[in-house]
Chain A
Amino acid sequence: MDAATTPLGRVTIAREAIAQIVGRTAAECYGVVGMKARGLRRRGLTQGVAVSTADGGGLKIDLHVVVEYGLNLAEVGNSIRARVLYEVERLTQLPVAAVEVHIDDVRQS
C-alpha cells in the first residue's frame, strides 16, 4: 500500500489499483498494441505492469509493452512514459520516481 498524507488523515492506495491505472493508460497510448506478460502478472488490465517503491522513495513503475512495427520507438516510449507519469500522479497524488518503459517486442498488425 502507498499512502498520501493529508490534513484529514492518510489515504492508502493498493499497488493493484495503481497497476490498473497504469494498464488502462498504457492501452490508450498511441503505438501500444499489446502488453507483455511476465510471471503470473494478472491478465487483463495489469498484464505487463509492475509497481514497486524506488530506492529513494516514490513509486517505480515498469511497463512491458508491444509496439506496432514501423513507428518511431524512441518517441513512442517517451510518450508512454509522459502519459503514465501524468495519469498516475493526477489520479493518485502520489509522487512517481520513475516510469520505465520496456518495449519487449514489435508487431506488424
Chain B
Amino acid sequence: MTVRGLAAGALAALESAERRINDLNVYPVPDGDTGTNLKLTVRGIVEALDASEATGRAELAREVTRAALMAARGNSGVILSQMIRGAAESLAETDDVAAALRSASDAAYRAVRTPVEGTMLTVIRETAEAAERLEQPTLPELVRAAEESVERTPEQLAVLREAGVVDAGGAGLAEILRGLTAHLTGEPLPEPPAYEEEIGLDAVHQELSRFRYCTTVLVEGDGLDAAELERELEPLGDCLLVVGDPAALKIHVHTDDPGAVLALATARGILESVEIANMHRQTVEREERLADALAAEKTCEAVAVVSGAGNRRLFESLGAGQLIDGGRTMNPATQEILDAIERAPAPEAIVLPNNPNVIMSAEQAARHASKPVRVIPTRSLQEGLAALVAYDSSRSAEANMADIFDALESVGTGAVVVSSRDAEPDGVPVRKGEWLGLVDGEAVVAAEDFEEAARAVLERLLEEPRDVVTLLAGEGAPPLGELQSWLEEEHPDVEVEVEDGGQPNYALLLSAE
C-alpha cells in the first residue's frame, strides 16, 4: 500500500462518478461542477505524489497537505483539501482510522463561520462518529456509514429536498472512501448506490417561488398521461414537474392551492405519497435560526457615555448594551457609570467614556465595580464608535481592550464647533461666533464659513490614506450636502457615511480610518 496508490484509487472512483456527482450539484450554486472539481483536486494530489521523493510519514503528510491546498478546485475541492489536512495531521502520528476521520472532520468545521448541515461537512462528521462507535471499523462499514449519511442530506438541507437530490459534495466524499477501500482490499469498486432515479427534479426551482406550498404527489394508475396532467397543472403554480411512467407519476409543483393539485391527481388514480411544505415558513425558520446563532450569550457588555439621540441609536446598533446620557456637558457622575456597569447582565464590562473629562470618573467606577471592568480611554464619540466596531461581546474585557486599542490607532477624529469667545487655542486666533475646526483635539483652522472650516479639517484627516469617512451631524448643524459632494469629487476613493448624531455643542464630528 502506498499513499500514491490510495490517492489513485480515490481518483478512479471519482472519475467514474464524475457525471453523476455533477448532476447532483444544486448547492451552494447549481453549476454542475462538483464532480469535476473533486476529480481535479484529487488528480492534482496524485500528480504531486508522482513527482515526490518523500519517504517519511511526517514528510508525506506534509506533501499531501500541500498538494491538496495547491490543487483545490471549487468549493468542494477547498473543503476536501481541509479534510485531507486534518486527516494527514493525524495519520502522521498514528494509523488510527477513527482518529484520522475525527481530525478531518474537526479541521473541516473549523474553517467556516456558519457550517451548513446536509453537506460534505455532515458526511465527514457522521462517518467519523460511526468510526468511533464501531471501535474496530472495517472500511466497507465506513463506506456504508458515509453512504447512509449522504442519503440523509436532503433531510437537513431544504434546497436538496426541494430539488430531490442528495448533496453532491457528500456523494463525492463517499466515492472517495469507496475508492480508498477498493484500493486497500484489492477488490473492484462495488456498484455506486442508485441515487439516479432521484435526480429527475433537477434544479428547476432554485428560484424563490412566489407561491407558498411546495407540493409533491405520487399518483398510481393505468395509462397515466404526464403531458396532459402537466397542461392541467400549469395554471396552478410554477416549478412544475411531472415525471414517471403510465403506471406511476410523480408531481411536483409550487402552488397556493395544493387542494386543486390533489383533486386533479385523485381524478387520475390513487394517491400514494403526498407532501405539502410551506416554503415561506421554511425560509423564515432558517432566518430565525441564523439570527439565534448570532445572538449568543454575552461575556462582556459595553457601557458608553453618549449624547444626542442619533448617536444613542448608533451606539446601540453597534452593540453597546448600557448607555449613559452624557447630557449637554458630557459629565455624568461616577455613581451613574457604576450603576450602568452593575446593571449589565454580562459578567465583565468595558467602559467608553467618550470624553477626556469622563475618563477619570469611569476609572473610579471601574475600581468599585463587583466585576472585571476595563476602561477604554476614548476621548470622543467618534472614537467610541470606532471602539465598538472592534468590540466583540463574546470575548473578555481584557481581550476586547487589546483589539480596540489596535483599532483606535488607525482612527483620526475631527470636529467643527462655533467658538463661544475670542481666543487663540493652539495658536489659532478665533473670534466669538466663528467656526473652529479641530483635528484629534487640537485647533487647526478658524473661519467665518462652515464649509471652509469643515473642508480644512477633512483635508487634514485625509492626508493619510483613508478608506472611510464618517460625518456625525450635530444639533443645529448646517446641511451637509455640499460638503458631501465636495468629498465625493475630491476624494472619490473614500467611502462617506453620514449619520444624524444630534450631539449638542459640536455641529459636526468627523472620523476617518
Contacts and interface: CB of A to CB of B under 8 A. Distances in A.
- Same assembly: yes
Interface of A: 24, 27-34, 37-45, 50, 68, 70-72, 75-76, 78-79, 82-83, 86, 90-91, 109
Contacts of A71: 69, 72, 78, 81-82, 111
Contact of B28 (A39, A42, A75, A79): A79
A31 B112 contact: yes
B313 to A, nearest CB: 11
Interface stretch (B90-98, B364-372, B383-391): B383-391
A68 B112 CA distance: 8
A28 B74 CA distance: 15
A38 B28 contact: no
B75 A79 contact: yes
B252 interface: no
Interface string B388-416: 11100000000000000000000000000
Majority DSSP secondary structure for residues of B touching A: mixed
A27 B112 CA distance: 7
Majority DSSP secondary structure for residues of A touching B: mixed
B31 A82 contact: yes
Nearest to A68: B111
B467 interface: yes
B157 to A, nearest CB: 11
A78 B85 CA distance: 21
A75 B37 CA distance: 11
Contacts of A43: 317-319, 388-389
Nearest to A62: B495
3 tightest Cβ-Cβ pairs between the two chains A and B: A39-B468, A68-B111, A79-B75
**Size range of the interface on B?**
35 or more
Contacts of B82: 68, 70-71
B21 to A, nearest CB: 17
A68 B79 CA distance: 11
Nearest to A66: B113
B116 A28 contact: yes
Contacts of A41: 389
Contact of A109 (B81, B110, B208): B110
Contact of B208 (A24, A82, A90): A90
A40 B112 contact: no
Given A30-B111, A31-B112, A86-B29, A72 B78 contact: yes
A71 B83 CA distance: 11
Contact of B513 (A27, A31, A32, A39): A39
B78 A75 contact: yes
A79 B319 CA distance: 30
Contacts of A82: 28-29, 31
A66 B29 CA distance: 21
A91 B207 CA distance: 7
Given A29-B112, A75-B73, A39 B499 contact: no
B409 to A, nearest CB: 15
A82 B75 CA distance: 10
B9 interface: no
A90 B116 CA distance: 19
B130 interface: no
B69 A72 contact: yes
A27 B113 contact: yes
A40 B314 contact: yes
Given A29-B112, A38-B495, A90-B208, A75 B318 contact: no
A72 B294 contact: no
B361 interface: no
A34 B114 CA distance: 10
Contacts of B74: 75, 78-79
B470 interface: yes
A66 B380 CA distance: 29
B299 interface: no
Contacts of B72: 71-72, 75
A70 B497 CA distance: 35
Which of B85, B112, B385, B497: most chain A CB closer than 10 A? B112
A86 B207 CA distance: 10
A76 B76 CA distance: 10
A89 B52 CA distance: 45
Given A39-B497, A70-B69, A75-B74, A27 B114 contact: yes
Given A28-B113, A86-B29, 9 more contacts: A30-B111, A33-B113, A40-B314, A40-B499, A43-B318, A45-B290, A76-B78, A79-B75, A83-B75
A82 B76 CA distance: 13
B308 interface: no
B78 A42 contact: no
A42 B70 CA distance: 35
B435 to A, nearest CB: 25
Contacts of B319: 43-44
Contacts of A78: 74
Contact of A30 (B79, B207, B467, B497): B79
Which of A30, A44, A71, A72: most chain B CB closer than 10 A? A30
A80 to B, nearest CB: 9
Contacts of A45: 290, 294
26 contacts: A29-B112, A38-B468, A38-B495, A39-B468, A39-B470, A39-B495, A40-B318, A40-B468, A40-B499, A41-B389, A43-B319, A68-B82, A68-B111, A70-B69, A71-B69, A71-B78, A71-B81, A72-B72, A72-B81, A75-B72, A75-B78, A79-B75, A82-B28, A83-B28, A90-B206, A90-B208
Given A75-B77, A83-B29, A34 B318 contact: no
A49 B290 CA distance: 17
Nearest to A52: B495
A28 B116 CA distance: 6
